[in-house]
Structure 1
Amino acid sequence: MNRILLLLLFFSFNVALGEIDKKLFIYGGQVNKDFIAYTAKLTGKENPKICFLPTASGDSPYYINYWYEICSGLKIEPKVMEVWINSSSQNESFEEKLLKMDAIIVGGGNTLNMLAIWKAQKIDIALRKAYDKGIVIAGGSAGSLCWFNAGTTDSRPKKLSIVKGLGFLEFSHCPHYSSEKTRKPLYHKNILEKKLTNGYACDDNSGILFINGKAIKSLSTDAKSFSYYVYEKDGEIIEEKLIPEIIK
């Protein structure tokens, strides 16, 4: 019996016991329509409420408008949670808003700044409560890196550096794995030097579904994009390509 089948049987057993599955769907690039549609499917709802967090882009109006544009035609109720606000414009807390959602999607941008704001506003705590409640969590680029224990980021000047994540997933992570030439060699180097743990890397158009902290399947929007499990063995890097399910 293969590993994936064993995992599926394990999760079916948990469902039978009434336990809540914690779903986290990450991808290497920016938010797109196909990944939003797949996130909606993960909720099991007909018209799910999906909240977009554009914190990493500084609540960019362009990004927010883009979110609503790509949600057009999808059977979802799109929401946005901005953090650049004042008290008089809000009638509920960040936590109250997030815990009403069926899914939460985090956009790309500056990972380091986003995490600093989340911690200052206790949004990181609210997101953990949402995840533990079974609300589907998703995101790409900064919105994928943030859920892991650590990874490489371009959030600081001059060069890629390491940033610690929220640790929802106990692996390291590398987004934009094949599209940015410095990402892959630096990720390999950091794992070999024990600066990062073994982990998962994603091309821009590929992602991975984690359930209860376990990688269940790889998903891509085309046949040329992949996700990988990257680990050290006997002083060498092993790059295990995960065969994806193509979604459209």
Structure 2
Amino acid sequence: MTRLDGTVLTIGGGGFSMPEVADAGSIDDFLLGLTGRDTPRVCFVGTASGDAASYVERFVAAFDGRARTSVLALFGNGPDGAIPLDRLDDVLEQDVVYVGGGSTANLLAVWRLHGLPELLAEAARRGTVLAGISAGMNCWFEASSTDSFGPYAPLRDGLGLLRGSACPHYRGEPGRRETYLRWVGTGALPDGYAADDGVALLWRGGELVEAVGEARGASAYRVHQGVDGAVETPVPTRLLAG
């Protein structure tokens, strides 16, 4: 696919998906603010979790009263009022498409079968903010670190709306940082960006604008291949007000 023409927020961890993160919810507030609307239309896409009902319920509860919520359930098991499978172009009318965590590989396979990547790229061109956590961070990049196959593994067939590779939960899960550094250092993954839990990266037109955080001490990192392995450079991260 072509590079992203629009706005995307890639979240390493936190938000309503991870209430255990300190001051969880600040990133969600930041996301809603990107729309410029008092009550934005926010669509949750839970494909990576198999449209788990509990995940959908957490989303609806988190955004109740702050947004007009909807759900896109490609497995056909969504709640009443979910976007029907024969009306997927309803995503073009959303202010935010928020992609949940789970299996990046499964998400990509199902989306491609339904033609969703092209619809989401068009939505972004029309002004919809694309966002996602974990697998919902990975999917927009060319490649990523994933546990979709059990052990951590490099995945190189992302949507490619953002250049390079991604690694969520960077210092929050054992082995995430070490394996990502090794893969970038050896060229198994292209250069990219990693984000701790509680950190999000804001992109416009495919270019990084800033990193923001809802957990003190959490950060984002630029990781690129150097002469003797991967080079890790912290990205200044603005702490959001609680």
Q: CA deviation at 1:69?
A: 1.3
Q: Any gaps of 5 or more consecutive residues in structure 2?
A: 17-24
Percent of residue pairs identical = 30
1:82 aligns with 2:73: yes
Distance 2:213 2:84 in 1: 39
1:186 aligns with 2:179: yes
The alignment yields a C-alpha RMSD, in angstroms, of 1.9
Q: CA deviation at 1:185?
A: 1.0
1:44 aligns with 2:7: no
Distance 2:83 2:71 in 1: 13
Of 80, 86, 91, which residue of structure 2 is paired with 1:93?
A: 86
Matches within 5 A, 1:3-152: 22-32=6-16, 33-73=25-65, 75-85=66-76, 93-152=86-145
Distance 1:224 1:91 in 2: 42
- In the other structure, the counterpart of 1:177 is 170
Q: CA deviation at 1:21?
A: 6.4
SS in 1 for 2:34: helix
Supply the AA of the counterpart residue of 2:153. Answer: S
From the superposition, tell whether residues 91 and 138 of structure 1 become closer, same or farther in structure 2 (CA, over 3 Å): closer
Supply the AA of the counterpart residue of 1:119. Answer: R
Q: After TM superposition, where is structure 1 displaced by more than 4 Å over at least 4 residues in a row? A: 89-92
**Bigger radius of gyration:** 1
My pick for the range that moved more, 228-237 or 206-215, is 228-237
- Provide, for residues 170-223 of structure 1, a one-character-per-residue CA deviation record: whole Å limited to 9, x for no partner: 110100100112111111111111111110000011111011111110100022
- In the other structure, the counterpart of 2:237 is 244
SS in 1 for 2:73: coil
Q: CA deviation at 1:237?
A: 2.1
The structure that is helix-richer by fraction is: 1
Q: CA deviation at 1:94?
A: 4.5
Q: Any gaps of 5 or more consecutive residues in structure 1?
A: 1-19
CA contact (8 A) 2:143 2:166 kept: yes
Larger relative contact order (C-alpha < 8 A, sep ≥ 6)? Answer: 2
Distance 2:127 2:204 in 1: 10
From the superposition, tell whether residues 186 and 154 of structure 1 become closer, same or farther in structure 2 (CA, over 3 Å): same
CA contact (8 A) 2:5 2:121 kept: no
